[in-house]
Amino acid sequence: MAPKLSSAPSSFARTPDRTPRDWLEAGQALLREGGLRALKLRPLADALGVSTGSFYHHFADFDAYQGRLAAYFAEAQVTELIDAIGRAEADPIGRIRLLAQLVRRRGLSRLAIAMRAWAESDRRARAAVERHDGLMLGFLTDCLAAAGHPRHDAGVRAYALMTLGLSRVHAPHLSMPQLMEELIGILAEPPR
């Protein structure tokens, strides 16, 4: 019978391996909270509970990481979100409502605003924002067209919904979730 090994104290426990996606998610959290200034290697590693050296198991350097972070915002993340919403909700207006809930719950509008600020100085971030916007506007337009809006009107309404979702108007007397729900009702209501 093999001897029983004692557990190491938690302060010495091996940190689980982190995936590139973990690093990307941590980077997005830093962007959401502090913008591009907050996106640095030490805070990333601290957020993940790993050494800075483990970063280089996944990324050649910080510039390569930033390129992947921008691409993640524009591709995998949006595509997965849209696919999940499509599987979860059949009603096209219900899909828009679900998107609004997920954006609010995950802080995605703050992330999108941070990405837009970064896009002012980095072509990769600019391309990512353009791709993100194209995917999201396409999704919203498709939902609105499926609800009965003519395609052009659906596109204009999609743009208005997305713009509203990215706004940062300070209105403490308004319930933002309720306001968004009412605006979805106004902008997404099928034509009669």
8-56: per-residue pLDDT in tens? Answer: 333 333 445 799 999 999 999 999 999 999 999 999 999 999 999 999 9
For residue 75, count CB atoms less than 10 angstroms from its CB and return exposed for 0-12, middle for 13-18, buried for 19 or more. Answer: middle
State residue 2's pLDDT score.
Answer: 42
State residue 6's pLDDT score.
Answer: 36
Task: List the structure tokens of 40.
Answer: 């640095």
State residue 171's pLDDT score.
Answer: 67
State residue 181's pLDDT score.
Answer: 83
Of 153, 151, 150, 108, residue with least CA distance to 133: 108
State residue 169's pLDDT score.
Answer: 64
73-127: per-residue pLDDT in tens? Answer: 998 889 999 999 999 999 999 999 999 999 989 989 899 999 999 999 999 999 9
State residue 8's pLDDT score.
Answer: 35
155-180: per-residue pLDDT in tens? Answer: 999 999 998 888 766 667 777 778 78
Task: List the structure tokens of 175.
Answer: 């319930």
Contact (CB, 8 A) for 172 and 125: no
How far is the C-alpha of 98 from the C-alpha of 68, rounded, in Å?
27
State residue 168's pLDDT score.
Answer: 64
Q: How many CB atoms lie within 10 A of CB 4?
A: 6
Task: List the structure tokens of 30.
Answer: 């830093």
143-157: per-residue pLDDT in tens? Answer: 999 999 999 999 999
State residue 40's pLDDT score.
Answer: 96
62-71: per-residue pLDDT in tens? Answer: 999 999 999 9
Q: Does domain 18-68 have CATH number 3.40.50.1220?
A: no
- Asked if the model's pLDDT at residue 141 lies above 70, the reply is yes
The alpha carbon dihedral of 110, 111, 114, 115 has a sign of: negative
pTM: 0.82
Residue ranges of alpha helices (H) inside the chain are: 20-34, 41-48, 62-74, 76-88, 92-106, 108-119, 123-146, 151-166, 176-188
Give the C-alpha distances (Å, rounded to integers) separating 192 from 111, 128, 147.
36, 37, 11
State residue 138's pLDDT score.
Answer: 97
